Amino acid sequence: MHRTPLHSAHCAAGARLVDFAGWEMPLHYGSQIEEHHAVRRDAGMFDTSHMLAIDLQGAGAREFLRAALANDVARLKQPGKALYSCLLNEAGGVLDDLIVYFLREDLFRVIVNAGTAQKDLAWLEGLRAKRAPQLALRARRDLAMIAVQGPMARKRTFQAVPELRAAAEPLGAFFGAQAGDAFIARTGYTGEDGVELLVPAPQAMAIWARLADAGVRPCGLGARDTLRLEAGMNLYGQDMDESVTPLESGLAWTVALEGARDFVGKAALLEKTPARELTGLVLRGRGGVLRSHQKVRTASGEGEITSGGFAPTLATSIALARLPAGTVPGSSVQVEVRERKLDALVVKPPFVRHGESLLPKF
Amino acid sequence: MKHPDNLKYTASHEWIRAEPDGTLSVGITDHAQDALGDLVFIELPELGRKLAAEEACAVVESVKAASDVYAPVAGEVVAVNGAVVDTPGDLNKDPYASWLFRIKPAAGSAPAGLLDAAAYEKGLS
């Protein structure tokens, strides 16, 4: 199994390790729920070094990405700006979701999921060879990644790693900047303020230790999952994969269909109206926990939960579910939980933002 | 914590304590709570419910998964610990104080195949 440059720090901290997409990663360091609360209330950090940064370098990098991605990197006008996008196949199916940073006109950085990294690299390499042979694609396994998240995340990061402060303090949301041999971006996967650090792998252990000394709590994949679910963010492989389009995955806002620009998968997306949509569910009352693959009954047919769980911030169970299109927020549905049918309310994600519940009163 | 010597255990990770009144208290073991992770939902049997031996009669759900709890013997549910329903995390903190239900064995029934602490732990390794 692959190990990140922070593996020994996780072992020393007593982490429960699990196999995640072939990587031995911390699930939690004792209590997943306490780690979740640390991020909502103060600051927590995640080892995300299993994800992969891919640099695209050369003339025409922007045009290449305009054709490769469903979102339009023409939207990236200021250096450092980031954009969330899906990478689609010709059928409009989601190969992966990613963040792309505009660093220079001849240098863009894409960060992709761990489980899809090799597939993405091969896919992008195929496109590159065909459309932009002058470009160089470089997989940056030499970088470690640490996400520091929470209302106090930036303050504690600057305390711990003061050499990042000058470059990072002015950053607005969804901007990144180079700071020496580190890259720091004001992005994340939790619905909180925070930063993501990309640092040369040999420096990762020292930075992790300094962050811990500054009061940043190590958090595992368990908390990362409940935080992103509360924030209404999809998990690739669970809420979407190649069998669905972004329009069926709550990601229409990330697909730039307007205008003449062509991109891989566009024709397929324009061809048909999606029959399903990804939306949020909140369990009414108690009676169980919503989980992926549970069946959902709606007035207009059946659907299925793609991600579900207990939301520590809300002290109830929430889910993302793929339901027949047109199931509007405020509708009541029933979820089959073991032998029971439990009532749930359809809501528009996110469920939590900046530590606060966004749920309607019911 | 681990697995106290004064309790009996099942292979399905319940602990059993014989009470002075002849009833049996049932909970989940330290190993079970540790493997499940933070518990977030608990469903207990109804008072008075008649159970067959090894019948699934309670559910403990963690952040990770749902798990059934089984009756160690045929009998009747004579008490449930409602407090753990409100604060499931107590089971993580002290699984032996956080009993789930008490069962009064049916006439002529006795639990079969219970393990002592050493045998239970041996089965874990």
Residue B47 C-alpha, separation from nearest chain A C-alpha, in angstroms = 17
Q: Does the pLDDT value for residue A262 go beyond 90?
A: yes
Say what the pLDDT of residue A53 is.
Answer: 98
Burial profile A260-284: b = 16 or more Cβ within 10 angstroms, e = fewer: eeebbbbeebeeeebebbbbbbbbe
Give a yes or no: residue B121 inside a domain.
Answer: no
Say what the pLDDT of residue A231 is.
Answer: 98
DSSP structure string for A267-330: HHHHHS--SEEEEEEEE-SSS----TT-EEEETTEEEEEEEEEEETTTTEEEEEEEEETT--TT
- Is residue A49 within 8 A of residue A144, CB to CB? The reply is yes
Percent pLDDT > 70 in chain A is: 100
Residue B9 C-alpha, separation from nearest chain A C-alpha, in angstroms = 24
Give a yes or no: residue B39 inside a domain.
Answer: yes
DSSP structure string for A196-239: EEEEEGGGHHHHHHHHHHTTPEE--HHHHHHHHHHTT---BTTT
For the whole model, what pTM was predicted? Answer: 0.95
Q: Tell me which residue range forms the domain holding B20.
A: 8-106
Of A28, A222, A288, the CB nearest to B41: A288
Question: Is B37 in contact with A226 (Cβ distance < 8 A)?
Answer: no
Provide the token pair at B13: 């990770």
Region A170-184: mean pLDDT is 97
Domain A275-357 adopts which CATH fold? Elongation Factor Tu (Ef-tu); domain 3 (2.40.30)
Question: Is A291 in contact with B66 (Cβ distance < 8 A)?
Answer: yes
Of A31, A288, A317, the CB nearest to B38: A31
Q: What is the CATH number of the domain that holds B15?
A: 2.40.50.100
Region A14-40: mean pLDDT is 97
Give a yes or no: residue B113 inside a domain.
Answer: no
**pLDDT, tens only, A54-103:** 999 999 999 999 999 999 999 999 999 999 999 999 999 999 999 999 99
Say what the pLDDT of residue A286 is.
Answer: 84
Give a yes or no: residue B112 inside a domain.
Answer: no
Average pLDDT, chain A: 97
Give a yes or no: residue B124 inside a domain.
Answer: no
Domain total for chain B? 1
Element spanning A337, H or E: strand A332-337
Among A32, A283, A313, A340, pick the best mutation site for testing chain B contact (most B Cβ within 10 A).
A32
Give a yes or no: residue B119 inside a domain.
Answer: no
Chain A nearest-CA residue for B41? A288
Provide the token pair at A97: 């979701």
**Domains in chain A: boundaries:** 275-357
Amino acid identity of residue A276, one-letter, is: R
Question: Is A33 in contact with B38 (Cβ distance < 8 A)?
Answer: yes
Say what the pLDDT of residue A272 is.
Answer: 87
**pLDDT, tens only, B81-105:** 999 999 999 999 999 999 999 999 9
Say what the pLDDT of residue A362 is.
Answer: 61
Give a yes or no: residue B72 inside a domain.
Answer: yes
Chain A nearest-CA residue for B85? A286
Per-residue pLDDT of chain B in tens (125 residues, 90 and over written 9): 689 999 999 999 999 999 999 999 999 999 999 999 999 999 999 999 999 999 999 999 999 999 999 999 999 999 999 999 999 999 999 999 999 999 999 999 999 999 999 999 999 98
- Is residue A252 within 8 A of residue A71, CB to CB? The reply is no
Give a yes or no: residue B3 inside a domain.
Answer: no
- Is residue B109 within 8 A of residue B52, CB to CB? The reply is no
Cα–Cα distance measured from residue A307 to residue A289, given in angstroms and rounded to the nearest whole number: 11
CB within 8 Å of chain A, chain B residues 62-101: 63-64, 66, 89, 92
